[in-house]
């Protein structure tokens, strides 16, 4: 059974949602405290949402220097599947594991609402089970979610098929409606929406299963 | 405790570091402030940009070294080079 590490920073608050989603998809979640120097035996890693280190300075600015991030970097460099959700996405961009940055929403309001995502690439560990153009209903819950990058970075994102998900109706002013991006290899992915909160139609949407199912399934394959 | 002679210690410089969004990066905070100004009777104010300011005491041998240290830590931690620029300046000898 695949083991998925869920990194917990002081101020993380979506780690149980992420762990529950992992369990529901048939894998074993393992919490990893931010001061750990290694990840232990895991087949994939999730950086969950929240307010790591209080989001002081900038979201992710202090979390990227937590000891565990060196281990996450090492894991990613060796092809390990890494997923950053919301605050986890911000941490991955601050750490340089993903290109670009997240700045304050265009309307300067905290957004907590459903969003419709359009799958832009299936080359990533998160979207491998989806189809290009597929619409997914996944909630957003953030203040600094407006994706930004310079022109050269944007051109390389497009050229390398690294734009993974776009918003149908851009709620936060992100460049080119970008909701999620991957690294060049596709094994590191970050997105602002919360797929771990879209696991049940009873609670609004089960579309998160398409995304997290792919991620957990890939990690399971890696563990064989 | 043995006192270190003053001559062997660096001097403390008071340094201010300004972190601002790079040109071309949208600044919704600055834009919102700018839009609010006319309602308060302030006309003729444009190009408002919001940023952050940090003050610190930096021990160094001279002003150049103090500024270099402050700029280095500002680029590493206080700013995100993807979207922000930093400028360090000596405020006074602390």
Task: Assign B1 a pLDDT band (cuts: 50, 70, 90).
Answer: low
Contacts of residue A65 in chain B, CB cutoff 8 Å? Answer: 77
Class of domain A3-222: alpha beta
Is B14 within a domain? Answer: yes
- Residue A149, min C-alpha distance to chain B (Å): 7
Q: Cβ contact (<8 Å) for B25 and A148?
A: yes
Buried-exposed string A59-70: b where 16+ CB fall within 10 A, e elsewhere? bbbbbbebebbe
Judge whether A103 is closer than 8 Å to chain B, CB to CB.
Answer: yes
The alpha carbon torsion through B25, A125, A216, A135 (nearest 10 deg) reads 70
A110: left (phi over 0), alpha (psi -120 to 50) or beta: beta
Task: Assign B38 a pLDDT band (cuts: 50, 70, 90).
Answer: very high
Judge whether B23 is closer than 8 Å to chain A, CB to CB.
Answer: no
Is B73 within a domain? Answer: yes
At B92 the pLDDT is 78
pLDDT at B23 over 50: yes
Is B81 within a domain? Answer: yes
Question: Could you say which of A14, A34, A53, A196 is catalytic?
Answer: A196
Is B17 within a domain? Answer: yes
The ipTM of this complex is 0.80
* Domain limits for position B68: 9-25+51-93
At A220 the pLDDT is 65
At A218 the pLDDT is 79
Q: How far apart are CA A85 and CA A66, in angstroms?
A: 17
Is B44 within a domain? Answer: no
- B90: tokens are 């000596």
At A224 the pLDDT is 46
At A201 the pLDDT is 95
Q: Is A112 a catalytic residue?
A: no
- Residue A18, min C-alpha distance to chain B (Å): 27
Judge whether B26 is closer than 8 Å to chain A, CB to CB.
Answer: yes
pLDDT at B6 over 70: no
CB pairs under 8 A between A and B: 37
Q: Cβ contact (<8 Å) for B82 and A61?
A: no
pLDDT at B5 over 60: no
CATH code at B70?
3.30.1280.10
DSSP strands (E only) in chain A: 3-8, 28-33, 44-47, 81-85, 101-103, 111-119, 135-142, 146-148, 163-167, 178-182, 188-191
Is B79 within a domain? Answer: yes
Ranges of each domain in chain A: 3-222
- The pLDDT of B75-92, averaged and rounded, is 94
At B11 the pLDDT is 85
At B74 the pLDDT is 97
* Average predicted confidence (pLDDT) for chain B: 90
A-facing residues of B in 58-87 (CB < 8 A) are 77-78, 80, 82-83
Please count the structural domains in chain B.
1
At A145 the pLDDT is 98
Nearest CA in chain B to A99: B82
**For each of chain A's 224 residues, which pLDDT tens digit applies?**
899 999 999 999 999 999 999 999 999 999 999 999 999 999 999 999 999 999 999 999 999 999 999 999 999 999 999 999 999 999 999 999 999 999 999 999 999 999 999 999 999 999 999 999 999 999 999 999 999 999 999 999 999 999 999 999 999 999 999 999 999 999 999 999 999 999 999 999 999 999 999 999 877 666 54
Nearest CA in chain A to B21: A103
Judge whether A157 is closer than 8 Å to chain B, CB to CB.
Answer: no
Of B74 and B92, the structure prediction assigns the larger pLDDT to B74
Is B43 within a domain? Answer: no
pLDDT at B7 over 60: no
């Amino acid at each position: 059974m695949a083991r998925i590490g869920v990194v917990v920073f002081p101020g993380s608050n979506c780690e149980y949602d992420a762990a529950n989603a992992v369990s529901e998809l048939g894998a074993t979640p393992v919490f990893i405290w931010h001061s750990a120097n290694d990840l232990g035996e895991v087949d994939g890693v999730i950086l969950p949402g929240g307010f790591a280190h209080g989001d002081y300075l900038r979201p992710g600015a202090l979390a990227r220097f937590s000891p565990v991030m060196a281990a996450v970097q090492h894991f990613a460099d060796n092809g390990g599947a890494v997923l950053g959700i919301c605050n986890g996405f911000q941490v991955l961009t601050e750490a340089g594991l993903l290109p670009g940055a997240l700045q304050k929403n265009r309307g300067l309001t905290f957004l907590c609402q459903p969003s419709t995502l359009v799958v832009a690439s299936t080359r990533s560990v998160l979207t491998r089970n989806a189809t290009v153009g597929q619409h997914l209903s996944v909630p957003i819950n953030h203040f600094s979610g407006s994706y930004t990058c310079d022109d050269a970075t944007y051109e390389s994102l497009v050229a390398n098929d690294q734009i993974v998900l776009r918003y149908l109706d851009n709620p936060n002013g992100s460049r080119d409606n970008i909701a999620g991006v991957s690294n060049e290899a596709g094994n590191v992915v970050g997105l602002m929406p919360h797929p771990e909160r879209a696991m049940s139609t009873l609670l609004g949407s089960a579309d998160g299963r398409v995304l997290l199912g792919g991620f957990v399934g890939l990690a399971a394959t890696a563990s064989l | 405790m043995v006192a270190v002679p003053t001559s062997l210690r660096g001097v403390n410089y008071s340094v201010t570091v300004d972190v601002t969004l790079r040109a071309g990066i949208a600044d919704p905070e600055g834009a919102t402030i700018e839009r609010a100004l006319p309602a308060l009777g302030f006309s003729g104010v444009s190009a408002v940009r919001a940023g952050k300011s940090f003050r610190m005491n930096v021990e160094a041998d001279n002003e150049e070294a103090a500024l270099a240290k402050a700029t280095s830590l500002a680029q590493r931690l206080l700013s995100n080079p993807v979207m922000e620029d930093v400028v360090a300046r000596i405020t006074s000898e602390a």
